[in-house]
Chain A
């Protein structure tokens, strides 16, 4: 599983998007209806999965799954180089 797929899986498992199609270009707010409180659920899951710390403010400009991938790769480049189960 790629880094992108892992993030998609985390989003699906931690939001109401479980039964929806989520792709790299999915807008988490418009397409999945994630509000600022729901996004904390995603942040918590990402922090737990990758053992990292994400300030809530980092998520303020996030719209798409691709934005999340870019944010994490910029802050933690090593995450994008691994294979995931």
Chain B
């Protein structure tokens, strides 16, 4: 095969974006996540990032990162098992364990990698994974890599989960996998119910709290606080690049289990550890949340409710998620992109989800209003929804 023949197989068909006159992906942002952000020299309101708490450009976080950069430099140039185990790494593990309410934790270079790396360590071909039908690609890809039996259960449906468990015999181990917040629609998993059912069927729950950590619960500690789950018997994973405004991923759980992962999880052992500057930023975010969560969370929820209410009053159909995500149901790819395009034309950046990341005709436009948005920005968004957006997308 010639080079040309080889590469001709990997050409992306961009004709649909051309026909629709808008490509909502890979939009180049030329600022930090301030209010406003800058795209092509123009000001935009950012409703596309997972910067729920608005801490990505917080001056206290930036200061902590600057200090860390001066002290530790750019990188530790090693994996956590070797020279990457800088004191900030150890401290962050302890703080994250305390924050999430679990015994111990370890930090991966990304949330995707944490999920992907976990399953080969804990599962074999004779095991069963029962997974929520709407679970994130990183969980599904990680599970599929094992070659074990996979049985999906209907989204957030405890009766169906129990039915599947009841009929699942002759497996060595059974684990039940879910997310805390399903990020395209904002629905929240009934983790208390899932944990209770798991205990009756000798199954171990695994929860990905990527969109819950920093956001759910009275003090933002995530799904375990939200559902009142103390002494969670399962495995907890989360991205650190969403509400916590850093990067990386965490796996937390029982102390002995985490100790085992530290020496046996190849996704951890063979990847360069997060640089100290990122660890320092995350530590400061946790510190801010511990002391200042009430004000930040109140503002985040207030913005979410006001934007959702304005959209509903204007006639848009929303997913009925309880998380601080507003998800407009767009339906077809064309209509979904049309809504995102109309928002963009009016200087609002959103996140459209179109097939294959959602089912056919299940397109959605996701809006996340970070707590850093100014009051006048949110008032402006509401006016725009009720006027311009209504005219351009009449339903």
Number of interface residues of B (CB under 8 A): 15
Are B152 and A37 in contact (CB-based, < 8 A)?
A: yes
Cβ–Cβ < 8 Å partners of B133 in chain A: 37-38, 41
Are B362 and A16 in contact (CB-based, < 8 A)?
A: yes
**Considering the chains assembled together, what is the distance between the CA atoms of A47 and B4 in angstroms?**
46
- CB of B356 closer than 8 Å to a CB of A: yes
* CB-nearest residue of chain B to A37: B140
- CB of B167 closer than 8 Å to a CB of A: yes
Write the B47-64 contact mask toward A (1 if CB under 8 angstroms, else 0).
000000000000000000
A16 to chain B: closest CB distance in Å?
4
Cβ–Cβ < 8 Å partners of A41 in chain B: 133, 152, 154
**Considering the chains assembled together, what is the distance between the CA atoms of A14 and B163 in angstroms?**
14
**Considering the chains assembled together, what is the distance between the CA atoms of A32 and B359 in angstroms?**
9
- CB of A10 closer than 8 Å to a CB of B: no
Cβ–Cβ < 8 Å partners of B151 in chain A: 40, 44
Q: Which residues of A contact B (CB under 8 A)?
A: 14, 16, 32-33, 35, 37-38, 40-41, 44, 47-48, 51, 56
B222 to chain A: closest CB distance in Å?
26
Q: Which residues of B contact A (CB under 8 A)?
A: 133, 140, 149-152, 154, 163-164, 167, 355-356, 359-360, 362
A33, A44, A56 pick with most chain B CB within 10 angstroms: A44
Cβ–Cβ < 8 Å partners of A56 in chain B: 149-150
Are A33 and B359 in contact (CB-based, < 8 A)?
A: yes
A78 to chain B: closest CB distance in Å?
19
A60 to chain B: closest CB distance in Å?
14
Cβ–Cβ < 8 Å partners of A44 in chain B: 151-152, 164
Which of B140, B150, B167 meets A48, CB within 8 Å?
A: B167
Which of B149, B164, B356, B360 meets A16, CB within 8 Å?
A: B360
* CB-nearest residue of chain A to B360: A33
B334 to chain A: closest CB distance in Å?
16
**Considering the chains assembled together, what is the distance between the CA atoms of A32 and B355 in angstroms?**
12
Cβ–Cβ < 8 Å partners of B356 in chain A: 35
B150, B164, B360 pick with most chain A CB within 10 angstroms: B360
Knowing A44-B164, A48-B167, say if A33 contacts B150 (CB, 8 Å): no
Cβ–Cβ < 8 Å partners of B362 in chain A: 16
**Considering the chains assembled together, what is the distance between the CA atoms of A14 and B155 in angstroms?**
11
Are A40 and B167 in contact (CB-based, < 8 A)?
A: no
Cβ–Cβ < 8 Å partners of B140 in chain A: 37
A49 to chain B: closest CB distance in Å?
10
Knowing A16-B360, A16-B362, say if A40 contacts B152 (CB, 8 Å): yes
B133 to chain A: closest CB distance in Å?
6
Q: Can you identify 30 A-B contacts, CB atoms within 8 angstroms?
A: A14-B154, A16-B359, A16-B360, A16-B362, A32-B360, A33-B355, A33-B359, A33-B360, A35-B356, A37-B140, A37-B152, A38-B133, A38-B152, A38-B359, A40-B150, A40-B151, A40-B152, A41-B133, A41-B152, A41-B154, A44-B151, A44-B152, A44-B164, A47-B167, A48-B163, A48-B164, A48-B167, A51-B167, A56-B149, A56-B150
Cβ–Cβ < 8 Å partners of A38 in chain B: 133, 152, 359
**Considering the chains assembled together, what is the distance between the CA atoms of A44 and B128 in angstroms?**
12
**Considering the chains assembled together, what is the distance between the CA atoms of A54 and B78 in angstroms?**
45
**Considering the chains assembled together, what is the distance between the CA atoms of A38 and B151 in angstroms?**
10
10 tightest Cβ-Cβ pairs between the two chains A and B: A33-B360, A44-B151, A16-B359, A41-B152, A48-B167, A40-B152, A40-B150, A33-B359, A37-B140, A41-B133
Cβ–Cβ < 8 Å partners of A47 in chain B: 167
* CB-nearest residue of chain A to B151: A44
A28 to chain B: closest CB distance in Å?
12
**Considering the chains assembled together, what is the distance between the CA atoms of A47 and B164 in angstroms?**
10
**Considering the chains assembled together, what is the distance between the CA atoms of A37 and B142 in angstroms?**
13
- 12 extra interchain contacts, Cβ-Cβ under 8 A, other than A16-B360, A44-B164? A14-B154, A33-B359, A33-B360, A37-B140, A37-B152, A38-B133, A40-B151, A41-B133, A41-B154, A48-B164, A51-B167, A56-B149
